Amino acid sequence: MLRFGSRAVASSPFFAGLLIALSSHSLVAQNRTLNSLTATETIDRIVKATGAALPPNTVDTIKEGDPNTVVTGIVTTFSPTMEVLRKAVAAGDNLIVSHEPTFYNHLDERTLFVDDPVYKEKLAYIQEHHLVIWRFHDTWHLRRPDGIAEGFVARAGWKQFENAGPDGEKGFLFTLPPTTVGALAKELKRKFHARVIRIVGDPNLKVTKVAYAPGAAGEATQVKVLERDDVEVLLVGEIPEWETILYVRDAAQQGRKKALILLGHVTSEEAGMENCATWLRGLFPEMKVEFIAAGEPYVEARD
């Protein structure tokens, strides 16, 4: 007769086998629970973890795919290009967390592309492979610290040079060791693996006071930053050539200590989406999370 004391149970082959079976069943059930988050559940957890509220008319919405899709893996990227989508499918990942649009304009409006062959092929690929594309733009910037700026600072290695802005936020103003605009541009080109970086102003201008305005912040923001006494050179993603670029040209031609470095939109923000993957791994330790670079779109013309 079996006794239910610990020694008797432990020595019983029947109970030992039963305990192993129950333990295995428990682990399988636990893994199934951990890995059965839907796209909606995953996105909700991400937004909540930022501590930011979705702003009115946010672009942080699912652009394509079934919100009830069970997530098999997460990819973060600057932009869900065809190459990014193909790599995600090859890796078995189906939730694409993109900082920028999927369909070529800020709101992902499709009126212009309804019968366009490029749009139709991309849409068909997304649907065929049951991908979910979610844009993570507004709340990633609203997080404190700003997720994009945090990634830029880490890649640049400028943490020790940060200054607080008017609202106390760091990641946008820096006091660097003395350098020139040209040397700074070369340093950034190397650190961010960029092919094309452009300078407006004097490349030989000696500077220490640097500001960072990623992406397409717009002329109003960029000019207000340049007006500051503690900014000599502004790093931006992009701007129409008839706006801030002309302003800086005039400033330089007036002998003012101002310059602009155009990193390109992708180069200015992509490190922030690599940072996003690192952050998400802490949020979803049970799930595969990887960063796939969209890559700079420009190719330098050579003789």
| Each residue's pLDDT tens digit, 162-194 | 999 888 889 999 999 999 999 999 999 999 999
Report which of 43, 233, 238 is spatially closest to residue 135, judged by C-alpha positions.
43
Residue 21 is predicted with a pLDDT of: 43
Contacting residues for 270 by C-beta, under 8 A, at least 6 apart: 78, 192, 293, 294, 295
Residue 206 is predicted with a pLDDT of: 98
Whether residue 245 is predicted with pLDDT greater than 50 in this model: the reply is yes
Residue 166 is predicted with a pLDDT of: 82
Please answer whether residues 108 and 71 qualify as being in contact, where contact means their C-beta atoms are separated by less than 8 angstroms: no
pLDDT tens column, 35-78: 689 999 999 999 999 999 999 999 999 999 999 999 999 999 99
Distance CA 256, CA 61 (A): 43
- How far apart, in Å, are the Cα atoms of 84 and each of 23, 89, 96, 190, 231? 39, 9, 9, 23, 36
Average pLDDT over residues 237-252: 97
What's the predicted TM-score (pTM) here? Answer: 0.87
Enumerate long-range contacts of 162-169, CB under 8 Å, 24 or more apart. 163/230, 169/144, 169/145
Report which of 197, 212, 207 is spatially closest to residue 156, judged by C-alpha positions.
212
Residue 301 is predicted with a pLDDT of: 87
- How far apart, in Å, are the Cα atoms of 96 and each of 39, 51, 70, 83, 180? 10, 21, 13, 12, 39
pLDDT tens column, 217-244: 999 999 999 999 999 999 999 999 999 9
Q: Give the rounded percent of residues in the chain with a pLDDT score beyond 70.
A: 88
Taking CA 219 as the corner, what is the angle to CA 217 and CA 220, rounded to the nearest 5 degrees?
A: 90
Whether residue 6 is predicted with pLDDT greater than 50 in this model: the reply is no
Token couple for 143? 């997080």
pLDDT tens column, 277-295: 999 999 999 999 999 999 9
Residue 19 is predicted with a pLDDT of: 42
Residue 168 is predicted with a pLDDT of: 87
Average pLDDT over residues 268-274: 98
Residue 35 is predicted with a pLDDT of: 65
pLDDT tens column, 76-91: 999 999 999 999 999 9
Token couple for 166? 């008017």
Average pLDDT, the chain: 90
